[in-house]
Amino acid sequence: MRGVNSVAIQTMKNAILSLVAAGVALLTPATAFADDHTEAEKPKWSLAIHGGAGTILPENITPEQRAAYEAALQEALDAGTEILASGGSAMDAVKAAIIPMEDNPLFNAGRGAVYTWEGENELDASIMDGRDRSAGAVTGVKTVRNPILLADTVRTDSPHVFLMGEGAEQFADEQGFEVTPPEWFATESRRQSLERMKARELSALDVDLKFGTVGAVALDQDGNLAAGTSTGGMTGKRWGRIGDAPVIGAGTYADNRACAVSATGWGEYFIRVGVAHEICARLRWDQAIRRASYADPSVPAEELEKFEGLLKMRSQLHADSVMAEVKELGGDGGVIVVTPYGETIFSFNTAGMYRGRANSDGLNEVAIFGGEEAGASDTPDH
C-alpha cells in the first residue's frame, strides 16, 4: 500500500503522546477551529484526480495505451488547474476536472460507462462542498451527458441531496439539461465485456480488471475544499445496484475542517467502511491541532516544524489504515485526499490507480502504477 514506512510509523508512535498533550493544551474554544491560512509553505491551491484503480500492470498496457491514459489525466488535471490558478473555487475546479473524464471513453463514467445486465448505461455521481457540507448526488441516470453537473444542480437547486432514476431525469429536464441519447455513452469494448461476462458466467471483477470511476478533490485560494466522483458502476450490475460513488460519506466527502476525499473501487466495501467520511473524521482532530498551533504565537517555530512533519505522516497513515480495513473485508480500490493545508494523498490497495495532482508550488504529475509519484518510497500492497 502506498504510504508511510515502518520507520515513519515508529517515529509517529514516539511523538504521538507529546503531540496530543500539546494539542489539548492548544485547543481552547477561541482557537480550536480558527480559519488561519497564513502559515508559510502552505500552497495557495491544490488539486488531485483519479480515473480508477485496479489490476493495472505495466506488462498489460501498451506504450500507446499508457500515453493515451496519461494524456487524458493531464487534460483533466489542466482543466481543474486553470480554475484554481485563476482564483476560482474548489467546486468549479472539481467539476472542470471531472467533465473531460466523463466525456472520455477510456474511463467508466459518462461516455464509456460499463453496461448493466440489461445492456444499458446507468450513471452515478456525487459532489460536496467543504464550506457548508452541502452535497448533491444522482444514481441510475441514463440521459445526462455529465452526471457530475446534475449532482451539483441537485445540491444547489433542490431541497434534497440524493435523487435516483426517472426522478433524477425529470429534475434534470426541469433544470434545462439536454437529453443525451444512449448511443453517446455506448462503446464496443464495454459491450464486449458484458457479453464475455454472460457467456462465461464471470463476475464483474473478472471482466473489469480496473475500476474506471473518476473523481477530483481540490483546495482553492480561499481555503475551501470540495470533492466529486462519477461512475458507470460495475459491468453486469442488476436489480438497481448502487455503489459507493454517489453515496455521500462512502465515495465522496468534503469538510473544510478535515479534508476532501474521492474514492474508486469495489463499492460495496467502501459503503460498509464509510471510507470517505471515515478518513475525514480521522483527519479532523489533527487539522484542529494544526490550526491551533499556528494560531498560538507562543509555539516555537521548531515545534511547528515538528508538528507539520508529523501531521503530514499521520494524514497518509489515516488514509492507508482505512484502505487496509477495506482490504481486510475483501475489497479493492483507492482514494485521493487533499487537506486544508494543501497536501495531496494517494492510497490504494491495488497494483495501480490512474491519478494526478498539481498545486501552486509547481507540482504537476500524473501516474498509473504504484510508486510513480515524486518522492514515492514504496509500492502498493497487492
DSSP state of 350: S
Instruction: Measure the CA–CA gap between 220 and 88, rounded to whole angstroms.
Output: 7
Please name the residue ranges forming H helices in 175-300.
Answer: 182-185, 188-200, 204-207, 267-273, 275-295
Instruction: Measure the CA–CA gap between 293 and 178, rounded to whole angstroms.
Output: 50
- pLDDT, one tens digit per residue, over 231-289 is 999 988 999 999 999 999 999 999 999 999 999 999 999 999 999 999 999 999 888 87
* DSSP sequence for 16-62: HHHHHHHHHHH--TTTTT------TT--S-EEEEEEEEES--GGGS-
Helix pair 147-157, 165-174: axis angle to 10 deg = 80
Dump strand ranges (E) for 130-221.
134-141, 162-164, 210-211, 214-219
- Amino acid type, 143: T
- pLDDT, one tens digit per residue, over 173-228 is 999 999 999 999 999 989 988 888 888 766 655 555 556 899 999 999 999 999 99
pLDDT for the residue 206: 56
- pLDDT, one tens digit per residue, over 339-361 is 999 999 999 999 999 999 999 99
Asked whether the predicted pLDDT for residue 5 surpasses 60, the reply is no
243: number of Cβ within 10 Å? 27
pLDDT for the residue 301: 75
pLDDT for the residue 288: 84
pTM for the whole structure: 0.86
pLDDT for the residue 142: 97
Q: Is 213 part of the annotated catalytic residue set?
A: yes
Q: Which residues, 6 or more positions from 375, have their beta carbon under 8 angstroms from its beta carbon?
A: none
The grid coordinates of residue 242 equal 448502487
Kind and range of the H or E element at 354?
Answer: strand 352-359
More confident residue, 370 or 122: 122
Looking at 139, 180, 213, 264, which residue is catalytic? 213
Overall average pLDDT of the 88-98 stretch: 98
The grid coordinates of residue 372 equal 510513480
Instruction: Measure the CA–CA gap between 103 and 180, rounded to whole angstroms.
Output: 12
What is the length of the chain?
382
pLDDT for the residue 207: 53
- pLDDT, one tens digit per residue, over 117-157 is 999 999 999 999 999 999 999 999 999 999 999 999 999 99
The grid coordinates of residue 227 equal 470533492
Least confident of 19-28, 259-268, 291-300, 328-337: 19-28
Q: In 3D, which of 239, 215, 246 has the Cα closest to residue 336?
A: 215
Are 124 and 147 in contact, with CB atoms under 8 Å apart? Answer: yes
Domains of the chain and CATH, by start: 45-278+315-369 (3.60.20.30)
Are 212 and 92 in contact, with CB atoms under 8 Å apart? Answer: no
Quote the mean pLDDT of the chain.
Answer: 86
* DSSP sequence for 270-294: HHHHTHHHHHHHHHHHHHHHHHHHH
Least confident of 57-71, 251-265, 287-301, 319-333: 287-301
